[in-house]
Amino acid sequence: MNALEEFIKEKQVVLLLVGLIGSGKSTFAEALQEHVPNFRRCNQDDLGDRRRVESLARLSLSQGLSVCIDRTNFDEAQRATWIKIAREYLGTYVWVIVFDTPYEVCIERLRVRTNHPTIKTPTEALSVLSRFQSQYYPPAPHEGHTRILNLRTPDQSPAYTRAHVLAILQRVRDAPSIDPATASRHEPSTRGRGYRGLSRGRGYRDSWSGAGGYRDSARGYGARGYNTRESSPYSRPGRSDAGSWRQGGSYSQRRDDDRDRRYRRTDA
What domains are defined for the chain?
Answer: 3-263 (3.40.50.300)
Contact 185, 247 (CB under 8 A): no
Over 90: is that where the pLDDT of 216 sits?
no
> Residue 42 region, left (φ>0) first, then alpha (ψ -120 to 50), else beta?
beta
Count CB-CB contacts under 10 A for residue 26.
24
Over 60: is that where the pLDDT of 204 sits?
no
Least confident range from 94-108, 177-191, 225-239: namely 225-239
Taking the C-alpha atoms of 40, 41, 46 and 51 in order, what is their torsion angle to the nearest 10 degrees? 80
Q: What is the chain's mean pLDDT, rounded?
A: 75
HSE at residue 235, side-chain half, CA atoms within 13 A, is 18
What's the whole-model pTM score? 0.71
pLDDT grade for 183, boundaries at 50, 70 and 90: confident
What number is the average pLDDT over the span 62-70? 98
Taking the C-alpha atoms of 234, 18, 37 and 105 in order, what is their torsion angle to the nearest 10 degrees? -10
What number is the average pLDDT over the span 121-132? 74
Q: Which of 36-50, 57-71, 121-135, 251-265 has the highest mean pLDDT?
A: 57-71
Q: What are phi and psi of 99, to 5 degrees?
A: -85, 100
Distance CA 267, CA 126 (A): 13
- What percent of the chain clears pLDDT 70, i.e. is strictly above it? 65
Q: What is the pLDDT of residue 116?
A: 56
Over 60: is that where the pLDDT of 247 sits?
no
Distance CA 218, CA 201 (A): 26
Distance CA 193, CA 90 (A): 36
Least confident range from 22-31, 83-92, 103-112, 178-187: namely 178-187
Contact 30, 4 (CB under 8 A): no
pLDDT grade for 181, boundaries at 50, 70 and 90: confident
Return the DSSP state at 56.
Answer: H
What number is the average pLDDT over the span 146-174? 97
Distance CA 63, CA 38 (A): 10
- Best CA proximity match to 22, nearest among 79, 124, 99, 76: 99
What is the CA angle 24-199-193, rounded to 5?
90
Question: Is the model more confident about 187 or about 244?
Answer: 187
Contact 137, 232 (CB under 8 A): yes
Q: What is the pLDDT of residue 98?
A: 98
Q: What is the pLDDT of residue 196?
A: 47
Over 80: is that where the pLDDT of 212 sits?
no
Count CB-CB contacts under 10 A for residue 170.
16
